[in-house]
Amino acid sequence: MSTTTLAAVTRGRVRRDRRRRAVLAALTLAVAAMVVVSLMVGRTFYPAGDVLRVILGETVPGASFTVGELRLPRTVLALATGLCFGMGGVTFQTMMRNPLASPDIIGISSAASAAAAFAIIVLGLGETGVAVFAIVAALGVAVLIYLLSFTDGVAGTRLVLIGIGIAAMLNSATAYILNQAGQWDLQAATRWLNGSLNGSTWDETLPVLAALAVFGPVLLSRARSLTMLQLGDDTAAALGTRLERTRLVAIVAAVGLIAFATSATGPIAFVAFLAGPIAARLVGAGGSPLLPSALVGALLVLVADFLGQFAFDIRFPVGVVTGVLGAPYLIYLLVRTNRAGGSL
């Protein structure tokens, strides 16, 4: 091998590594900045000092309630669900080699949401019961879609179409549950159909943090195998990847993240779908997309929630804002694949 090639290879790799690290650092900073802004800014402005004192447990008149009881749980929940949706979404997209195969498009989030709405509104269960319901339903749908569209490897178009059908069914089921319970108020409806952070409490936030602490590291430990799956089953297996095991772990962990997050906030529209492609744009296609997507997901939710609360005359729930952001990209993807004459 020539030394110039070696030097060029090393240089290229170092450059791509640097870019990745720089993007990760910038995303982390942006997320941290959004967290701080969300805590300080609102109807009333509280300086950083007050916010810090509240976090440290001191009593600050006004701020203790507004920041401690309202803004802090809401912001932490926004951060946590954003990380969950971002990481869970890109796991599916990577595994299925298809940006449309994200859990919020193919019905997995809808399943979690319908089950959570049922568990809360009809059965009146608490957080743990709701999360269990959501995860069982989401796993069930994931398995169902897998079985219905499985033909020796995962079929792209079939999977997406079947998933979209199932999502539509589940969304009407959610609407029906909301209707039947006689609780058709806008609050509940937007939460379980679009996703909302209104009225977030620590009781909802803690299970999501726990899910993140368990499933996040599990997924990250499989990061390399997951990226190998992008090469197709044969190449990935020939390079030493254990396909079934990787898929099983990835599906369970990603569904866990999605289900827990959804049972707290509802399926915040398109965050899982958007985070991966945006992250790939930023870091390039070489490495694992898990961490950058998680950060992009968090940033999307934090920014969308902030905009929804304060950018307009009326307050929009976070899912409506992300929905408006995500829909054009979905249309773009559909148009592009249609033009290319390709499959979904």
Q: What is the DSSP string of 245-257?
A: HHHHHHHHHHHHH
> In this chain, which of 286, 307, 325, 329 binds another protein, going by CB under 8 A?
286
> In this chain, which of 10, 44, 128, 338 binds another protein, going by CB under 8 A?
10
Is 13 near another protein (CB under 8 A)? yes
Q: How far is residue 312 CA from its own chain's centroid? A: 25
Is 23 near another protein (CB under 8 A)? no
Interface with another protein in residues 96-135 (CB under 8 A): 97
Burial class (CB in 10 A: 0-12, 13-18, 19+), 52: middle
**Which amino acid is present at 336?**
R
CB 47 within 8 A of CB 40: yes
Which residue do the tokens 């937007």 mark? 190
Task: Give the whole-angstrom CA distance, residue 285 versus residue 135.
Answer: 30
User: What contacts 323, CB < 8 A, 6 or more positions away?
Assistant: 194, 269, 270
Region binding another protein by CB under 8 A among candidate stretches 1-9, 103-111, 180-188, 204-212: 1-9
Question: CA distances (Å), 108 to each of 32, 39, 160, 252, 291, in order?
Answer: 29, 31, 11, 12, 21
Instruction: Between 173 and 231, name the residue whose CB sits nearer to another protein.
Output: 231
> In this chain, which of 81, 190, 241, 262 binds another protein, going by CB under 8 A?
241
Is 248 near another protein (CB under 8 A)? no
Is 284 near another protein (CB under 8 A)? yes
The SS3 of residue 72 is helix
Region binding another protein by CB under 8 A among candidate stretches 45-53, 174-182, 210-218, 280-288: 280-288
CA 196-197-203 angle, 5° bins: 125
Instruction: Between 35 and 223, name the residue whose CB sits nearer to another protein.
Output: 223
Report in angstroms how near the CB of residue 240 gets to another protein at its nearest.
3
Region binding another protein by CB under 8 A among candidate stretches 34-42, 123-131, 162-170, 220-228: 220-228
Instruction: Between 141 and 249, name the residue whose CB sits nearer to another protein.
Output: 249
Is 280 near another protein (CB under 8 A)? yes
Report in angstroms how near the CB of residue 296 gets to another protein at its nearest.
16
Is 285 near another protein (CB under 8 A)? yes
> In this chain, which of 148, 169, 231, 330 binds another protein, going by CB under 8 A?
231
The SS3 of residue 232 is coil
Is 218 near another protein (CB under 8 A)? no
Question: CA distances (Å), 330 to each of 10, 101, 274, in order?
Answer: 37, 11, 9
User: What contacts 138, CB < 8 A, 6 or more positions away?
Assistant: 103, 108, 109, 111, 112, 115, 255, 258, 259, 262
Binding residues for another protein (CB under 8 A): 1-2, 4-6, 8-10, 12-13, 16, 97, 152, 221, 224, 227-228, 230-235, 237-242, 280, 284-287
